[in-house]
Amino acid sequence: MKVYARTPLDLQKVTVPQGQVYLIPERCKGCSLCIEFCPQEIFQVSTGLNAKGYHYPEIIPGKEEACVHCGFCTLVCPEFAIFTLLVEPEVP
C-alpha cells in the first residue's frame, strides 16, 4: 500500500471497481483503439479473423480480472464492439 502525506479516513473502505469486458468480434473493424486506450493494458490483437477479415482484440490471458470498469474501451470503439459491466463485489 502506498504511503501518502495525507490519507483519507476511509481509505480501508475504498475498493477498486471490478469490471467484466464483453467483446463482439463480428462487429470489430480492427482499429485497435481499445488496445491503445486501456489504462490496464488488458487487450491484445488476436490471431483470429472475424467475417470481415479483421483481427479483433482479445483479453490477454491472466488479465481477465484486471478491468477497472473505466469505460474507455466502450467510449472509443466506433463500431460498438466492446462494452464493460460493473461486477458487484461479494459481501462477506
Q: What is the pLDDT of residues 1-34, one digit of tens each?
A: 566 677 777 878 878 889 999 999 999 999 999 9
Kindly report the pTM of this predicted structure.
0.78
Give residue 91's pLDDT. 62
Q: Is residue 9 part of a domain?
A: no
Total of domains in the chain: 1
The boundaries of the domain holding residue 24 are 18-87
Q: Is residue 69 part of a domain?
A: yes
User: What mean pLDDT, rounded, does the chain reach?
Assistant: 90
Burial (CB < 10 A; 0-12, 13-18, 19+), residue 53, is exposed
Beta strands 82-87 and 43-49, pairing class: unpaired
SS3 at position 82: strand
Q: Is residue 82 part of a domain?
A: yes
Q: What is the CATH number of the domain that holds 34?
A: 3.30.70.20
Q: Give the contacts of 25 (CB within 8 A, at least 6 positions apart).
A: 46, 48, 50, 56, 81
